[in-house]
Amino acid sequence: MAKKRMLAVVSSTTLLVAMGVAGCGTATTSNSSTAPSSTTTAAAGMGTAPLVIGAQDGSPGYTENFNPFSPNALEGEFFMYEPLYEVDGLTGAKTPWLATSYQWVGTKKLEFTIRQGVKWSNGKPFTAKDVVFTFDLLKKYPALDSNGIWSYVSSVSSKGNVVTFDFSQPNVPGWQYIAEQLIVYPGQFKNVNPVTFTDDNPIVTGPYVVDTFNPSQYTLKLNPLYWQKNLVKVPEITEIALSGNQTADLQMSEGKFDQAVLFEPGIQKVYVDKNPADYHYWFPLASPTALYFNLSEAPFNNVKFRQAMAYAINKEVIYKKGEYGYEPPASQSLLPPSLDSKWLDPTLAQKYQYNYSPKKALSLLESIGYHMQNGKLIGPNGKQLSFTLECPTGWTDYIQDMQIIQSELAKIGIKVNTETPSQSTDYNDVETGHFQAALVYGWSESNPYYIYDYLMSSSESAPIGKVAAFNANSERFNDPKANQLLTELAQTTSSSKQHKIVDQLEKIAFTQVPIVGLVSGAGWNEYQTNHYVGWPTASNPYASPGLTSTNALLEIIHLRPVK
């Protein structure tokens, strides 16, 4: 089952959009019952200039679709529809939103207290019954349930302002997908097919509603009935349709966007140096860009071979040359750096560093029957070890990474053939298991459960020929111990137990090397401070940045106009 609400870190040559962050803190009872204080947002007077965003591909043009259930919805949905909780996609910090609190009753009952006094943009009161309607809609139309909530929830009901989720099986991390589900207005969705509905005039609880729309841009205006309108200091948001990398880069360098979410190889020169006082960027690091092997084939199914590859590839060269100095070497723990302080076992990280060492790589390969002969690594079958490595055509940074890997492995006698099929072909190859090796992007996640479940759980894999999500367990890793640990992790609300289990999952990632972590993927994010300030930064990571992500609400209430 593919997880939907993640910030994918993809190739440099795509118009990279922050596409949703599946943040999830450890599931414990929350004692926070209020929305963010206006004192933390440095409440200034209402701004006068619209906030202009350049982040979404609009070629050949926008289609007016704000249906939060649709994979084709415009990102303006995140300024209009709201969840029960906002979760920082980097740190996992939880902010009550349409719910004021939650509590677990055992591990199979979850209760949310719904905020009172909230109105829909048409003036109707928002109620707990609206929450129940939204989740029942996911059950009625399984195509909407991309996060598989009804695979572990058995019923949803309300009493007063409390919504209760009864679980068919313990799934404590499932809190996150429930908490971040955007809630819809029953009167608008009850008589339509929500799978195909385009929702061009949303009725919402959020801070903005649609103002104007055309295929090249759309504008959102303030919702006068918004329940925390005193925190919102941006009067208008304009989203510009991007028509290609060159045009978008030029527009960004000319200061046309207050925020952009674009890859730019020379960001300092092309952007920051144009106006160092006001033009800035912060590229937060996510889970690793990784080398995936098809573990259904030899020699990739041999753990010593995979360990050897982790030693044989110089990640520093990939970082500095292939990824332009934006993405430093990744930990083989497979966790993003934002989780290291809370979750990474330092003893494991020290023991299994996988620093570049061709000598160690050769020693491991020799232990499984390979030997050097005339500069070639010869296997037990008497032939040179070779395999094919692929990534999509046009992904220039990944193509450079492949060339680096090809060069590094040639030093120990391995022949790597590189291929660059179309993106659709590459994705299909990896998802169906018809590949030998591939470069695959990571994503932003704030709960280690979802990282390890996605990458290592057998439930996220599939037999050869069947589809496993592109950046999930498409390597076909199968380890009963990992499956058992993930089951145990899903069933406990104890922080100490969670940490002990995560330590064991980290050890599997380090020792079994299901995928080879290369560099920590970066989330592109450029912003200006000449109109608005208060953006998330490395020193104040209150949200995963990108005004076209599920943390957009957190970000918009922090922005304030320059005085």
d(CA 559, CA 1): 36
Dist CA 481 CA 489 (whole Å) = 12
Long-range contacts at 8-11 (CB < 8 A, ≥ 24 apart)? 8/441, 8/443, 8/471, 9/286, 9/287, 9/289, 9/441, 9/442, 9/443, 9/444, 9/521, 9/522, 9/523, 10/395, 10/441, 11/263, 11/391, 11/392, 11/394, 11/395, 11/396, 11/397, 11/398, 11/441
Inform me whether the pLDDT recorded for 22 exceeds 70.
no
The CA distance from 445 to 8, in Å, is 10
Alpha-carbon distance of 268 to 284, in angstroms, equals 16
Please say if the pLDDT value at position 41 is more than 50: no
- pLDDT of 413 > 80? The answer is yes
| Stronger pLDDT, 143 or 549, i.e. the higher one | 143
Task: Give the pLDDT band of residue 547 (cuts 50, 70, 90).
Answer: confident
Mean pLDDT of 394-417: 96
Residue 487 pLDDT exceeds 70: yes
Comparing 357 with 47, which gets the higher pLDDT?
357
Summarize the chain as % helix, strand, coil (round to 5).
30, 20, 50
Nearest to 546 by CA among 90, 42, 68: 90
Which 3 state secondary structure label does DSSP give 33? coil
- Least confident residue range of 144-148, 255-259, 441-445: 441-445
* Helix, coil or strand: residue 2: coil
pLDDT of residue 414 exceeding 70, the answer is: yes
- For 494-533, the pLDDT digits (tens) are 999 999 999 999 999 999 999 999 999 998 999 999 999 9
Phi, psi of 400 (to 5 degrees): -65, -40
How much is the average pLDDT of 313-329?
A: 96
- pLDDT for 46 equals 65
The Cα diameter of the chain in Å comes to 79
Mean pLDDT of the chain: 90
What is the domain partition of the chain in residue ranges? 7-203+523-561, 288-522
Nearest to 389 by CA among 326, 448, 338, 435: 435
7-203+523-561 carries CATH number 3.90.76.10: yes
Q: How many CA atoms lie within 13 A of 364 on its CB side?
A: 19
Q: What would the two tokens of residue 177 be?
A: 């997908």
Is the per-residue pLDDT at 37 higher than 60?
no
| 3-state secondary structure at position 200 | coil
DSSP state of 321: I
- Report, as an integer, the average pLDDT of 213-235: 96
- Contact assessment for residue 333 and residue 509, using Cβ atoms and an 8 Å cutoff: yes
Q: What percent of the chain has pLDDT over 90?
A: 80
525, 513 Cβ separation under 8 angstroms = no
Highest-pLDDT range among 59-73, 234-248, 486-500: 486-500
Cα 335 to Cα 362: distance, rounded to the nearest angstrom: 27
Dist CA 367 CA 372 (whole Å): 12
Residue type, 167: F
pLDDT tens for each residue of 343-380: 999 999 999 999 999 999 999 999 999 999 999 999 99
CATH 3.90.600.10 fits 288-522, yes or no: no
Q: Can you give the three-state secondary structure of 245-304, one letter per residue?
A: HHHHHHHHHCCCCCEECCCCCCHHHHCHHHCCCCEEECCCEEEEEEEEECCCCCCCCCHH
Pair of tokens at residue 169 = 């099986």
| Cα dihedral 29→32→35→39 (10° resolution) | -150
Structure tokens at 116: 């009172």
475 sits in which H/E element: none
Handedness of CA 447, 449, 450, 451 (dihedral sign): positive
Distance CA 237, CA 142 (A): 33
Query: With 90 as the cut, is the pLDDT of residue 549 above it?
Result: no
* Model confidence pLDDT, tens digit, residues 147-188: 899 999 999 999 999 999 999 999 999 999 999 999 999 999
Q: Which residues pair with 241 in a beta bridge?
A: 56
333 neighbors 507 (Cβ within 8 angstroms)? no
Average pLDDT over residues 63-89: 94
